[in-house]
Structure 1
Amino acid sequence: MLVFLSYSMIAIFMYAVMSKRLSALTALVLIPVIFAIFTGHSAELSDMMVDGVKKLAPTGIMITFAILYFCMMTDAGLFNPLIKLIIKIVKGDPLKIVVGTGILGICVGLDGDGATTYIIVATALLPLYTKIGIRPQVMATVLLLSIGVMNILPWAGPFSRAASALKIDPTELFLQMIPVMAAGLLWVLFVAFYLGLKERKRLGIHQIEHNEELIHEEPNIPTWKSWFNLALTALLIFVMIKSYISLAPLFIIAFCIGLVVNFPQLSEQKKLIGKYADSVLAVSTLIFAAGIFVGIMSGTGMIDAIAQHLISIIPESSGNFLASITAFISMPFTYILTNDAFYFGILPILAETASHYGVGANEMAIASLIGQPIHLLSPMVASTYLLCSLTNVDYAENQKNSILWCTGTCMIMYVAAILIGLI
């Protein structure tokens, strides 16, 4: 019964959001609350909700101050030289801009962190998209595809979970994953080219002769402040990659330093925070609502029920094909489960079963990572809410417009793994 209710809750949530019957915020809270009461957990409901919010609180705080930091740096003119350089290269051609978005997303995504990539790329390129008239949804889709592949890097969460859960050498696993990821990245660039071509045709723009038309007026900023902002941001990214400090306090400190230097007057600081309050609040409320969703799914036992049901429905006769089965189930199940639940709860059992049929742990790990592009669309992934906020794209619309392209990434990587002989 719990299994049926678990799947029903996910299905109702997806329908309510994608059909716009409910906003993502209200659906994330009301639907799991109703199901928790229905399953007899009303007494523990408050504790489950608080526990879930606590789990995502560091992420919510980090994203709140990350938005404020990069919005502040935008106002301070940090990204103006980058925008000028991009404009010189692309000459206002929508095709080049969208492909450039994919390339920049891949490059910035080398740190394996979606939130950082979304903030940097969207902050740098969104003014250009707006000026030319390219749909922001195109940027959101291309960035999701970029991070869907870059999220598989060894220093990103899913890879380390798969390697540690199956007790395999991360270096060996990564070397095997490189050609699979390369195939995924080629797909990302192909999709960017296709979407860029569609935007070029829609807008009827191939090139703008006078690039100055695209450059907004820059504030008169002292040179020392420009160099200071660049140094502070470089230091922030370095510390973030090295993990010297947790992300939440890191962004809080960086924001406060940048705010005092760039906007020393209290009235200026208040004005800046007020200017971006809507964007910050829209994201932070969704993240904490997602915490309630996750907390109730965990507390009611729904996540465990789904995991056990998945294992029970795989017939023993399919043992030789468990790697392929794992690749396909990783797509929907990393959407409805947390990465921890999938990689530590389901994958070890599947891998143990597969070992009796001669299917190695490395093969199972590779298969399990193929579904990560779909995972990014999960309501449990906080960075996707950030992406939607930064690009001013509706969450439900983003789901509908991106899910087939993300599925394509998974399928391309699966085919590559088959052709190479990894699965």
Structure 2
Amino acid sequence: MLASIGLLAIVSLFLLILSKRLSPLVALIVVPVVAALLGGFGMQTSEFVVHGIKNIGPVVGMFIFAIIFFGVMTDAGLLDPIIRRILRAVGGRPRYIVMGSALLALIIHLDGSGAVTFLVTIPAMLPLYERLGMDRRILACAVSLAAGVNFLPWVGPMLRASAALNIPTTELFYPLLPVQLVGLVFVFGACYLLGLREERRLGLGGAGSGLEIHMPEVTAEQAALRRPGRFAVNCVVTLVVLTVLIAGWVPPVLIFMLGTVLALVINYPCVAEQRARIDAHARAALMMASVLLAAGVFTGIMGESGMLKAMAEALVRHVPNEHAGHMPFILGLLSMPLSLLFDPDSFYFGVLPVLANSAEMLDVPRIQMGQAALLGQMTTGFPVSPLTPATFLIVGLTRVDLAEHQKFTIPFLLAASVVMTIAAAILGVFPF
């Protein structure tokens, strides 16, 4: 019963969002609440909601202050010299801009945090896309691909798989290293082709390498906000914030709070100016924060009600025993789409151990099931899954509609997962 209600809720959520009948904010609240009431949880639903919101609270706080911090720094002109240098370096070639976006995301994601990756990469690259008239969906896709393929021993899915199967992360990761390299080749190849397509759409043709791109004229209002004399100080503050953020020395929400305070005091010491800068960026911060809180409602109800666990158990019961020898390869092919149905905890701690034990009974090493899952389940799948806040960070920062982001990016992420699964089979990580 719970599994059916949970599946109906997730399918309804996708249909309502993709068809644009409801906004993500409305759908993320209404659908799980109705599902919980249908499941007979009654007033207990409120406890699930509070639990979900508590879990997502730090992400919401981080996002609000990150928006204000990067917004204030942009107002002060921090990105102008950086963008000018990038424009000179790429020569107006979108193919290099898209590949550069992926490379930056790949480097930032070395800390294993998708949220940090998107909070750093997208604000840095988005002005360049906008000034060249490039499709923002491509930026969302490029950073999603880079972060998704970068599954390192300390990232969440790897740690969950290790704990669930009682296998050291190094044993899971090292055989996958060449597979990951194949995945990264695919990522940069796809980014190159996306950039090439943009060059043709924008009419740059083969002359793009010699094209000189100029910074657009700033308005009088924008010029009044610029603080070129404080560029060096702003750079230091930004580098300190990013270093502390990536190193994980303090919670992200705190470092962005402190960074916002410094950005405001250094560039706009007048209280009226500070209030104006906060007001200028409050709308974007509030809109995305509301969606993130709504996502907390969805994940809280689906997880605490047991719907996700029930769906996991129902899925396991329908795996044919005669196909156990092919289970790693099949799981690798399905791992990315499964991110749209299961959150990482319910999959890695609920579904994966049962799948691994079933496979082991038929002489299929359990480690192969873990490695197959890591080729897509909340790795390539997390940047488009409605079960992760990172998805809403991407669409909020790029200002791309959730449905458009999913339609555009899912085929590339699925292709990356399939390519890595085939590579794993060819390289002998697990059989076809």
Q: Please classify the TM superposition score into its range, dividing by the shorter chain length.
A: over 0.9
Q: Using a 3 Å threshold, how does the CA distance of structure 1 residues 261 and 141 change in structure 2: closer, same or farther?
A: same
SS in 1 for 2:380: helix
Q: Is the 8 A contact 2:84 2:214 kept in 1?
A: no
Task: Please say which of residues 265-274 and 252-261 is displaced more in the overlay.
Answer: 252-261
Alignment of 1:328-347 (within 5 A): 328-347=333-352
- Rounded to whole Å, the distance in 2 between the matches of 1:24 and 1:327 is 29
1:353 matched residue in structure 2: 358
- For residues 198-218 of structure 1, the C-alpha deviation after alignment (integer angstroms, 9 at most, x for no partner) is 111111014286636235557
- For residues 171-221 of structure 1, the C-alpha deviation after alignment (integer angstroms, 9 at most, x for no partner) is 232222221111111111121112111111111014286636235557653
Q: Is the 8 A contact 2:50 2:297 kept in 1?
A: yes
Show structure 2 runs of 5+ residues with no match.
Answer: none
Q: Using a 3 Å threshold, how does the CA distance of structure 1 residues 212 and 335 change in structure 2: closer, same or farther?
A: closer
Task: Please say which of residues 410-419 and 159-168 is displaced more in the overlay.
Answer: 159-168
- Rounded to whole Å, the distance in 1 between the matches of 2:267 and 2:19 is 44
1:153 matched residue in structure 2: 152
Alignment of 1:226-375 (within 5 A): 226-371=231-376, 372-375=379-382
- For residues 143-171 of structure 1, the C-alpha deviation after alignment (integer angstroms, 9 at most, x for no partner) is 11111112x12222111111222222222
Q: Is the 8 A contact 1:184 1:409 kept in 2?
A: yes
Task: Please say which of residues 288-297 and 162-171 is displaced more in the overlay.
Answer: 162-171
Q: CA deviation at 1:126?
A: 1.7
SS in 2 for 1:393: coil
- Rounded to whole Å, the distance in 1 between the matches of 2:421 and 2:303 is 30
Q: CA deviation at 1:78?
A: 2.5
Which letter maps to 2:259? A
Q: CA deviation at 1:242?
A: 2.8
- Rounded to whole Å, the distance in 2 between the matches of 1:209 and 1:354 is 57
TM-score by length of structure 2 reads 0.92
Alignment of 1:21-36 (within 5 A): 21-36=21-36
- Rounded to whole Å, the distance in 2 between the matches of 1:336 and 1:30 is 18
- Rounded to whole Å, the distance in 2 between the matches of 1:264 and 1:408 is 50
- Rounded to whole Å, the distance in 1 between the matches of 2:198 and 2:185 is 20
Please report the RMSD computed on the Cα atoms of aligned residues, expressed in angstroms: 1.9
Q: CA deviation at 1:254?
A: 2.1
Q: Using a 3 Å threshold, how does the CA distance of structure 1 residues 208 and 370 change in structure 2: closer, same or farther?
A: closer
1:97 matched residue in structure 2: 97
- Return the match for 2:411 from 376, 393, 404: 404
Task: Please say which of residues 191-200 and 330-339 is displaced more in the overlay.
Answer: 330-339
2:62 matched residue in structure 1: 62
Q: Is the 8 A contact 1:94 1:197 kept in 2?
A: yes
Which letter maps to 1:204? G
Count of paired positions: 421
SS in 2 for 1:42: coil
Does residue 211 in structure 1 map to residue 218 in structure 2?
no
Q: Is the 8 A contact 1:53 1:292 kept in 2?
A: yes
1:390 matched residue in structure 2: 397
Which letter maps to 2:401? D
Q: Is the 8 A contact 2:383 2:394 kept in 1?
A: no
- Rounded to whole Å, the distance in 1 between the matches of 2:382 and 2:213 is 40
2:227 matched residue in structure 1: 221
Show structure 1 runs of 5+ residues with no match.
Answer: none
TM-score by length of structure 1 reads 0.94
Q: Is the 8 A contact 1:50 1:295 kept in 2?
A: yes
